Amino acid sequence: MDGMDAMRDPVTRTVTTGHVRLVYHYNDGHDFTTESMLEGEAVAYMPILQARPLDPHHYVAPFATIELQPV
């Protein structure tokens, strides 16, 4: 695997390669689902959102909870 196919999860230190969709459950009650992306890319984006992990597939940010759904 090269760096484009896998990224290391900063929380669990495991390599993530699967595709996920992010589901944002906004605090105001609406949801938004993204297009498919590599799980490692999605996890790498969480610090920018100030999101902290609840478990490997759920994060909480000041504006929403974020779910990583396998594709």
Query: What is the per-residue pLDDT across 20-56, written as a single tens digit (0 to 9) for each?
Result: 999 999 999 999 999 999 999 999 999 999 999 999 9
- Establish if 23 belongs to a structural domain: yes
State how far the alpha carbon of 39 is from the alpha carbons of 1, 2, 51, 54, 58, in Å. 15, 15, 15, 16, 12
- Establish if 24 belongs to a structural domain: yes
pTM for this entry: 0.75
Q: Is 7's pLDDT higher than 60? A: no
- Establish if 1 belongs to a structural domain: no
Count how many domains the chain has.
1
Whole-angstrom Cα distance, residue 21 to residue 35? 6
